[in-house]
Structure 1
Amino acid sequence: MDEDRIETRAVHGGERRPGPEGSVVYPIYQGTVYSVPSGTDYHDLRYIRLNSTPSQSYLHDKLAALEGAEAGLATASGMAAITTALHSVLRSGDHLLVGDCLYGGTHDFLTQHAADFGWTFTFIDPHRPETWEAALTAKTKAVLVESITNPLVRVGRLPEVAAFARANGLVSLIDNTFATPVNFRPVTAGFDLVLHSATKYLNGHSDIVAGAVVGDAEHVERARTTSNHFGGTLDPHAGFLLARGLKTLALRVRAQNENALRLAEFLADRPEVAEVNHPGLASHPDHQRASELFDGFGGMLSIRPAGGVSAAQKLIDAVRLPFDAPSLGGVESLITRPAATSHAGMSPQDRLALGVTDDLVRISVGVESPEDLVADFEQALGTL
């Protein structure tokens, strides 16, 4: 299949032809017990915890096909994907370089637990390659960044990060949740491991929790072995729903790209809004880079109403279409204040250092009519 035809790969990538018993839709294999041929390696036993049952292998192939990768692994959550991947490449005494604007869960995991595993880490600015070498140590083993940061939707020097990692013998990891493989495929940019909270866009219907690790076969197999020992495995029913959601990923994300840009352009012209963050806007500091790297600017934006925290909460209360909820990437629009939800575990000082102010409002744009979304925000802004 053509590398650029993501719509076709989303539907047909990883599919079995013909399917079991001739089924077009791959079935759920709920069984935990399978016969074992003599001499089978432990990690090749067919067992749900070992990520090796037919349902899991099918899902892994679909995930890999979407990212253009050699292999894939599904996990029980996005954080399970991140922690499993990090544990697969870091040992006690190792050092990690990490982007300085992270999803709150990733930030909390590193700041609160890295020392427990004997890891050290240094925050780097993904926009300033000239500063990265100074952060290296003799024990640096990996670098982790996000394709589009949460919640300020910044886009770093991503190909340069991957090249820097290769030049210095580091494993490169990237959280591609916000961009999705529809808009950006990090493997082609040189990254070793691509991570997702599949709860979000990959599934797209706000009804499961899952994660994904994809990349070259060697690194994914190390991640699978780590996951097998830690037990953060995705169950077959959730895996079935994720595989089903993946088939419409390209259609959903294309619509969300268009809707988010339309809404961002509307909000940027409103006096009630002091700041709009969306990489599709020419005013965004990373607009040119995003235009060069991505096939779309994503369905996420964040804003700061002119009236501070009270105006932010009033806006959230006044909109009628978006749900006041902290997740993202579903077919329905969502709105939240990250300081009170996704980044609440961070200290106020750390949040402010990243630009996550108390009045910042994050919007995950769904697939509703763009005219209805704009009209809804227009009436909500009228209440401020």
Structure 2
Amino acid sequence: MNPEKKGINTICTHEGGVEDVLFKGATSPIYTSTSYAFEDVDVKRYPRYFNTPNQEALGKKLAALEHAEQAMIFGSGMAAISTALLTFLQAGDHVVFQQTLYGGTYNLAVTQLERFGISYSFTTGWQVMDFERELKDNTKLIYVETPSNPLLTITDLAGVSKLAKSKGIMTMIDNTFASPINQNPIDFGIDVVCHSATKYMGGHSDICAGVVASSKENMERVYQTAICFGGSLSDYTVWLLERSLKTMGLRVKEQNANAAQMAAYLMENPDILNVHYPGLESHPDHLLAKSQMNGFGGMLSFELSDEVDVSQFFKQLKLIKPSMSLAGLESTVSAPVTTSHALMSPEDRQKQGIRDSLVRFSLGIENIEDLTGDIEQAIKEVKSMQVHA
């Protein structure tokens, strides 16, 4: 069987496991040792070297999912992103970041990069021409995020990759919102793929992890940086992540379906001003998303009308959980201005189009009628409270 021809659920289930040669168990055994032999062995193993049996095996599964040659697991998404950035950038270099960017990555750029002598620019949009305008003679890297957090903007991966390659510049992406189920950026020429594995890969709101995937040559460079920064993940959590990945294809498929139905429902709700979801034909980049994504994802965002206070709306929800993170089995909502993008100034949030009324919505696997019903009753309750105030 050709591994490249395996279906996504087969890869999720079978690639990159640790064989139980002693008892022939169906699941990978956990190797929790932090001390391994160094004499008469092929590999000198140590958790901080990212090469314990569980770390190595899971890296193979992640590489297969992202169509990469190699992948590494980190202690968090930001550990993965920061390690990758500081692998390919050095003093005197310049990096171009997409304007619509996760708040943690934005904060890393504006508070840390100049300490390392690295300059940066943010695009004014997310079209290929916006990236081209920001290029300088010392630009070494273009960093994109698509779909973006929290406005679900879509960036042309093939277009950005073509631009970068014509200038000898590397490309890097945060592929968290899409997951490898919905999007494989390497197929469009992107060099390095990063994930917060806390999200769709973990999928159960009980794991914090990150991933970097790329070519063997690039990953050897990432490895040299990673062993210095020490952002490795415990083998127990690695084992839990492998367990979770086995159902990722099934989970994400259901979340995609729920998000599509929820977006359609919200579009018809008079108390919702704007809905941001690339699966909607009204989304400005719908056709682009359709051309580079296998599914439109389980994330969307929407803006409440002035008649519905965001904080009160959250308090009236009975099923959907107001929560910091996303992509779990349970549906969650958050206010980007007080969570994911709280570290950005109000002015910078405004530039991105992140308003105080914006709600980020992560669809879980519940029955869609229960979710729409919860939205409806919460809005009704808030409006009733305001009438009687």
TM-score by length of 2: 0.94
For residues 199-245 of structure 1, the C-alpha deviation after alignment (integer angstroms, 9 at most, x for no partner) is: 01101000011000011111112112211101111110111111111
Query: Aligned to 1:281, what secondary structure does the other structure show?
Result: coil
Distance verdict in 2 for CA 1:196–1:19, change over 3 Å: farther
- Any conservation in 1 of the 2:336–2:359 contact (CA below 8 Å)? yes
The residue aligned with 1:355 is: 353
Of 341, 344, 348, the residue aligned with 2:342 is 344
Alpha-carbon distance in structure 2 between the residues aligned to 1:330 and 1:192:
28
- The Cα shift of 1:133 comes to 3.0
The letter for the 2-side match of 1:347 is S
> Post-superposition shift, 1:39?
9.6
- C-alpha spacing 1:60/1:39, structure 2 compared with 1 (3 Å): closer
1:175 corresponds to which residue?
Answer: 174
Shift of 1:126: 5.8
Match of 2:292 in 1: 293
The alpha-carbon distance between structure 1 residues 132 and 343, as it changes in their structure 2 partners (threshold 3 A), is closer
CA gap of 1:260–1:57, structure 2 versus 1, over 3 A, is same
Task: Return 20-29 or 250-259, whichever deviates more.
Answer: 20-29
Residue identity in the other structure for 2:366:
E
Task: Give the number of equivalent residue pairs.
Answer: 380
- Which stretches in structure 1 are left out of the alignment for 5+ residues? none
The structural deviation recorded for 1:326 is: 1.4
Q: Hey, what's the Cα distance between the residues in 2 that align with 1:301 and 1:313?
A: 18
Q: Shift of residue 280 of structure 1?
A: 0.8
Identify if the C-alpha distance between structure 1 residues 366 and 254 changes in structure 2 by more than 3 Å, giving closer, same or farther: same
Partner of 1:23 in structure 2?
25
Distance 1:79 1:152 in 2: 20
The answer (yes or no) to whether the contact 2:198–2:209 under 8 Å persists in 1 is yes
SS of residue in 2 equivalent to 1:154:
coil
CA RMSD of aligned residues (A): 1.6
Percent of aligned pairs with the same amino acid: 41
Residue identity opposite 2:293 in structure 1: F
| Pick aligned residue for 2:330 from 329, 332, 351 | 332
Question: Residue 275 of structure 1: CA displacement?
Answer: 0.8
Give distance in 1, aligned partners of 2:271 and 2:210. 37
Counterpart of 2:119, as a letter, is T
Provide the residue aligned with 2:105 in structure 1: 106
- Is residue 2:8 matched to residue 1:6? yes
Describe the shift of the 1:215–1:347 C-alpha distance in structure 2 as closer, same or farther (beyond 3 A): same
Please report how far the alpha carbon of residue 283 of structure 1 lies from its aligned counterpart in structure 2 after TM superposition: 1.1
Extract unaligned runs of 5+ from structure 2.
Answer: 384-389
Name the structure 1 match of 2:54: 55
Give the Cα separation in 1 of the matches to 2:74 and 2:177.
18
Report what 1:195 is aligned to. Answer: 194
Q: Which residue of 2 aligns with 1:87?
A: 86
**Deviates further, 242-251 or 16-25:** 16-25
The residue type equivalent to 1:351 in the other structure is: R
Cα distance, 1:134 vs structure 2: 3.3
Q: 1:253 aligns to what SS in structure 2?
A: helix
State whether structure 2 residue 67 is matched by structure 1 residue 65.
no
Once the two structures are superposed, residues 276-332 of structure 1 have per-residue CA deviations (whole angstroms, 9 ceiling, x without a partner) of 111111111111111111111111111111126x52222212221111111001001
Q: Which residue of 1 is the match for residue 214 of structure 2?
A: 215
Give, in angstroms, the shift of residue 261 of structure 1: 0.9
Cα contact 2:199–2:326 (8 A) shared by 1: yes
User: CA 1:107/1:20 → structure 2, altered by over 3 Å: closer, same or farther?
Assistant: farther
**Paired residue for 1:122?**
121
The answer to whether the 8 Å contact 2:157/2:189 transfers is no
Shift of 1:19: 4.9
Match of 2:387 in 1: none
Q: Normalization by structure 1: what TM-score?
A: 0.95
Distance 1:178 1:289 in 2: 16
Q: Post-superposition shift, 1:177?
A: 0.2
- Structure 1: distance between partners of 2:21 and 2:180: 25
Counterpart mapping for 1:264-275 below 5 A: 264-275=263-274
Distance change >3 Å, CA 3–CA 279, structure 1 → 2? farther
Cα distance, 1:358 vs structure 2: 0.9
Tell me what 1:318 maps to.
316
Aligned ranges 1:150-169 → 2 under 5 Å: 150-169=149-168
Local SS of the residue matching 2:236: helix
User: 2-side partners of 1:126 and 1:7: how far apart?
Assistant: 35
Matches of 1:19 and 1:268 in 2, distance apart?
Answer: 54
Assess, with a 3 A threshold, how the Cα gap between structure 1 residues 4 and 299 changes in structure 2: closer, same or farther. farther
Distance 1:226 1:26 in 2: 28
Name the aligned partner's letter for residue 366 of structure 1: G
2:84 aligned counterpart, secondary structure: helix
Q: Aligned partners of 1:273, 1:134: CA distance in 2, in Å?
A: 35
